[in-house]
Amino acid sequence: MEEIGIKSKLRVQKHGEVFTPKRIVKKMLDVQEIKEACESILTTFLEPSAGEGAFLVAILERKLNIVVKNYNDDLGRFENYSLLALTSLYGIELLEDNAQTCVLNMFQVYYDIYQEQVQYHNGKLKKKVLDSAKEIISSNIRQGNFLTKQSIDGNPLVFSEWSPIKMRKTTKRIKIQRTEYTLDEIYGNEEKESGKSINKAINKTIQPYKQLDLFDLLVEDDIDSENENPKEMRYTPVNIIDVYKAEMEEADG
The CA-atom distances, in angstroms, between 54 and each of 33, 49, 58, 143, 197 are 19, 10, 6, 16, 30
Q: Is the pLDDT of residue 4 over 60?
A: no
For the chain, give every domain's residue range. 11-250
Contacts for 14-18: CB closer than 8 Å, 24+ residues apart: 15/94, 15/95, 17/51, 17/95, 17/98
Nearest CA to 43 out of 31, 51, 34 is that of 34
Q: Is the pLDDT of residue 8 over 70?
A: no
- Place 20 in a pLDDT band, splitting at 50, 70 and 90: low
Structure confidence by residue, pLDDT tens digits, 178-235: 999 999 999 899 988 899 998 643 333 333 334 556 666 544 454 444 455 567 889 9
Structure confidence by residue, pLDDT tens digits, 64-117: 999 999 999 999 999 999 999 999 999 999 988 889 999 999 999 999 999 999
pLDDT score at 11: 41
pLDDT score at 251: 80
**C-alpha–C-alpha distance, residues 71 and 59, integer Å:** 17
Cβ atoms within 10 Å, residue 188: 10
pLDDT score at 19: 56
Contact between residue 41 and residue 84 where contact means Cβ atoms under 8 Å apart: yes
